[in-house]
Amino acid sequence: MLGWALTFLVIAIIAGLLGFGGIAGASAGIAKILFLVFLVLFVIAMIARAVRGRPPM
Look at residue 8 and give its three-state secondary structure: helix
Query: Hey, where are the domains in the chain?
Result: 2-51
Q: What is the pLDDT along the chain (57 residues), one digit of tens a residue?
A: 678 778 888 888 888 888 887 888 888 888 888 889 999 999 998 888 888 886 666
Look at residue 38 and give its three-state secondary structure: helix
The model carries a pTM of 0.66
pLDDT of residue 1: 66
